[in-house]
Chain A
Amino acid sequence: MLRKLITTIFILACFILQSTVFPALDFGGVIPNLMVILTSSFGFMRGDRTGLAVGFGCGLLCDIFYGGMLGFYAMIFMYVGFLNGKFSQIFYPEDIKLPLALIVTSDLTVGLVCYVLLFLLRGRFNFSFYLWKVICPEAIYTIVATLFLYPIVLKVNELLEAREKRSAQIFV
């Protein structure tokens, strides 16, 4: 219950930060994608079910406020969370390389899917522009944001896990 509450707070806080604070800190007109960091890190930390649910929640928020169609971002983020969850078997909290690689790959994938579905299908063929001016800067900025956000998510997750373990022991 506590875990669900904290996850919801994380999603809301990140969405609010991303839409209010980060536009003021933009870097060449590009802002980092905190939603991808959350979805992907909950995915590989907690497995595909959590990843799927967190992705759906994050995407739905983006849809309601900024999407043209409800369910579009929700679906993309849901698959990102689910696929990241498949890596939870080889995830160790001490290792920072796998999370970084997964988050960057996820962000690039989300960028590419958005380009194909939102722009390529409307006849915007200048792929190199969108790759170098939007997708790649966003991925790089997202790595920078990951270095700050990911340790917090990891720490909270560890605390929650320790707490759950304790209560399980009391129960036995």
Chain B
Amino acid sequence: MSPVIKKKGERFTLPSKYLLFVFTVICCVAMLLSFGTDVFNIPLNTAVGYLIVPFQEGISKTGSWLSDRSEELVQIRQLIEENEALKGQVADLTAQNTVLQQERYELTRLRELLDLKEKYNQYDSVGARIISRDSGNWYSNFIVDKGYEDGIAVDMNVMAGGGLAGRVTSVGPNWAKVTTIISDDSNVSGAVMPSGNTLIVSGDLQLIRDGVIRFSQLLDEEGQVEVGSKVVTSSISDKFLSDILIGYIDSITLDANNLTKSGQITPVVDFGHLEEVLIITQRKPQIREDEALE
């Protein structure tokens, strides 16, 4: 090879250790900035939203289609038997339904009388499909196929199967990240029904496989709370709307300080088999600092 060509091919390149240093600085700055602000969120979330989310949607759709078909084959016989039984039930239920409808009419009338309508109104929600799950093994978060273009915003509560699943923590144009309540970095302020004692529900990686979540700081001097009591989100929670079912108490132990109790809760949501979730489009009203000062 002649030296002329070699010289022509040579370009200025930074030695790799300096490159490493430069990238390390970039990472540190990015970490600091994203810790304090959300400058990167909008452009990066938008970019990956168009680059990756369509594929995730497609692949998870094919995956769930395949698993649906295989399940169908297994379940056909069961379904025939079930169908017979269900037909009988339908007749019974139709009769019951008529009675209930009458009762419901009465209930609405009485509620109006009591002016309780506001409280029992259902929260508005939109359905979303889970398209991908956490790529690591440390936290259990998932991505759904709705984003800010569908009106989803950070801190909206997510429900599944009648119980609290988590809340939206990051949002792109066509995707949103949901941090589940069983994730190790999640804490929810809850209340035990009907006594109203408050407690803190925290996700724990060590308990995920047993299907339970931890609770702590339960103040219960009278011993009203027992195994099987219902736990809902508390009205003092600043991210979660009140009175959403979390689960039922599984075990209680008295803490070493003899004041508070802790234990485990069985969540109502089956986190192992989540496919579709409901996102409540209403957010907990936040008290902004500038307003609070006035």
Which interface class (under 10, 10 to 19, 20 to 34, 35 or more) fits A?
A: 35 or more
CB neighbours (8 Å) of B44 from chain A are 64, 70
Q: In the bound complex, what is the Cα–Cα distance between A134 and B136 (angstroms)?
A: 10
User: B30, A49: Cβ atoms under 8 Å?
Assistant: no
> Whole-angstrom distance from the CB of B48 to the nearest CB of chain A?
5
Closest B residue, CB atoms, query A126 = B206
Partner of B135, one of A30, A62, A85: A62
Given contacts A16-B56, A65-B48, A65-B177, contact A78 B24 (CB under 8 A): yes
User: Given A19-B134, A21-B59, A30-B137, A68–B185 Cβ distance below 8 Å?
Assistant: yes
Asked if B28 contacts A18 (CB within 8 A), the reply is no
> How far, in whole Å, are A39 and B209 apart by their CA atoms in the complex?
30
B226 → chain A closest CB, angstroms: 28
Is B67 in the interface zone, CB < 8 Å from A?
yes
Chain B, Cβ-Cβ closest to A83:
B20
Cβ–Cβ < 8 Å partners of B135 in chain A = 15, 18-19, 31, 35, 62, 65-66
Counting CB contacts under 8 A, is B97 at the interface?
Answer: no
A170 at the binding interface (Cβ < 8 Å): no
Residues of B within 8 A of A133 (CB): 206, 209
Contact of A69 among B35, B52, B177, B205 (CB under 8 A): B35
A78 touches B60 (CB 8 A): no
Query: Is the Cβ of B23 less than 8 Å from the Cβ of A78?
Result: yes
Name the B residues within 8 Å of A21 (CB-CB): 59, 63
Partner of B34, one of A23, A65, A69: A69
Residues of A within 8 A of B30 (CB): 69-71, 74
Chain A proximity mask over B1-40: 1 for CB below 8 Å, otherwise 0: 1000100000000001001100110111111011100001
Report which A residues bind B (CB closer than 8 A): 12, 15-21, 23-24, 28-31, 33, 35, 47-49, 52, 56, 61-62, 64-66, 68-72, 74-75, 78-79, 82, 85, 114, 118-119, 122, 124, 126, 129-130, 133-134, 138, 171-172
A-B pairs with beta carbons under 8 Å apart, 27 shown: A12-B55, A16-B132, A19-B132, A19-B143, A20-B60, A20-B63, A20-B133, A21-B59, A23-B132, A30-B137, A49-B19, A52-B20, A56-B23, A61-B48, A64-B45, A66-B134, A69-B34, A70-B30, A78-B20, A78-B27, A82-B20, A85-B16, A114-B136, A118-B138, A119-B184, A119-B205, A129-B206
Q: Hey, which bits of chain B sit against chain A, CB under 8 A? A: 1, 5, 16, 19-20, 23-24, 26-31, 33-35, 40, 44-45, 48, 51-52, 55-56, 59-60, 63, 67, 131-139, 141, 143, 177, 184-185, 205-206, 208-209
